[in-house]
């Protein structure tokens, strides 16, 4: 069973300026919950209750969010507002939180390597909180954990995207092993539409085996001069099997305004339904 989940959360969130000038992008709320809380709830559902967060400068609000707020709780104690903290209280009861800081922005691979100290030598999940995922029945990480239990190798989540959008993603090529599960033969970070090996794009959910850390250490900078997890996984795929999994559900790219508004509308409908 995978117990740990890493949240790279050091990025600047430049696509959401000025909203993210002094607030971490992971704290942007979709209806009434910050993005990162959706990710943590998804990890928790998959049994990954040890949460590791790779933070950076200006990200203290993340650690404060996953902590008690005595003054606030005292104020609302006994009022009808108390219920609003129910979900976050459960998270605090059931999860542990550890933090480390990434001092320089050298890419997602580098961010994951920075988290090695929080993970150690065991398989772990990775959540990019700005990809907000809603699983059909199970959450996406739970679905992926099942694939991991069966094949015991790294797994990346994928979805089909239009050809003119492949340049925004890591893209895979592979052969289908079972319905929706591909053995990866090739991975390219942000290829042009002409160079893309397919239109199967990696989205921000990974399960990684711990040998990935040594691979990242030996991975030179790639696209945009950054150390890319896609390149490290490509190397891992030449040594061991790496799988891509077409998850069941939908995902909102909350790093873009369109995706963020789409997620807001979707969760607003749920929020209304929950209130009858």
Distances (CA, A) of 124 to 6, 16, 49: 7, 29, 11
**Beta bridge partner(s), residue 31:** none
Q: Which residues contact 193 (CB under 8 A, 6 or more apart)?
A: 163, 164, 166, 167
Q: By CB under 6 A, name the one of 116, 131, 159, 231 that touches ligand G1P.
A: 131
Q: Does residue 203 belong to the site contacting ligand G1P (CB under 6 A)?
A: yes
- Residue 23, token pair as written in the block: 């607030």
Residue 148's contacts (CB-CB under 8 Å, 6 or more residues apart) are 2, 123, 155, 207
Q: Of the ranges 33-41, 196-204, 207-215, 234-242, which one interacts with ligand G1P (CB under 6 A)?
A: 196-204
Q: Which span sits near ligand G1P by CB under 6 A: 47-55, 132-140, 202-210, 259-267? A: 202-210
Site string for ligand G1P, 98-127 (x = CB under 6 A): ----------x-------------------
Does 231 contact ligand G1P by CB under 6 A? no
Of 91 and 187, CB closest to ligand G1P: 187
Task: Give the Cα separation of 160 and 267 in Å (integer).
Answer: 23
The site that binds ligand G1P (CB under 6 A) totals a number of residues, namely: 12
Query: Shortest Cβ distance from residue 202 to ligand G1P (Å)?
Result: 4
SS3 of residue 224 by DSSP:
helix
Which residue ranges make up the site for ligand G1P (CB under 6 A)?
Answer: 108, 128, 131, 169-170, 189, 201-204, 228, 230
């Amino acid at each position: 069973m995978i117990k740990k989940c890493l949240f790279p959360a050091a990025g600047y969130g430049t696509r959401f300026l000025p909203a993210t000038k002094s607030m971490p992008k992971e704290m942007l709320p979709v209806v009434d919950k910050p993005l990162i809380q959706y990710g943590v709830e998804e990890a928790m559902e998959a049994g990954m209750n040890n949460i590791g967060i790779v933070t950076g400068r200006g990200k203290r609000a993340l650690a404060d969010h996953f902590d008690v707020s005595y003054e606030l709780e005292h104020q609302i104690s006994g009022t009808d507002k108390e219920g609003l903290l129910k979900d976050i209280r459960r998270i605090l009861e059931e999860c542990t939180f550890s933090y480390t800081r990434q001092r320089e922005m050298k890419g997602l691979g580098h961010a994951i390597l920075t988290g090695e100290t929080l993970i150690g030598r065991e398989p772990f999940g990775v959540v990019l909180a700005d990809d907000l995922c809603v699983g059909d029945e199970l959450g996406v990480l739970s679905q992926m954990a099942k694939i991991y239990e069966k094949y015991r190798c790294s797994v990346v989540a994928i979805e089909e995207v239009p050809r003119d959008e492949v340049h925004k993603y890591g893209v895979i090529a592979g052969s289908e092993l079972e319905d929706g599960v591909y053995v990866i033969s090739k991975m390219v970070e942000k290829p042009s539409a002409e160079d893309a090996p397919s239109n199967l794009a990696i989205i921000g959910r990974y399960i990684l085996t711990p040998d990935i850390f040594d691979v990242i250490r030996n991975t030179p900078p790639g696209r945009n001069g950054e150390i890319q997890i896609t390149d490290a996984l490509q190397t891992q795929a030449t040594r061991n099997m790496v799988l891509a999994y077409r998850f069941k559900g939908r995902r909102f790219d909350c790093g873009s305004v369109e995706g963020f508004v789409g997620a807001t509308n979707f969760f607003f409908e749920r929020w209304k339904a929950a209130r009858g």
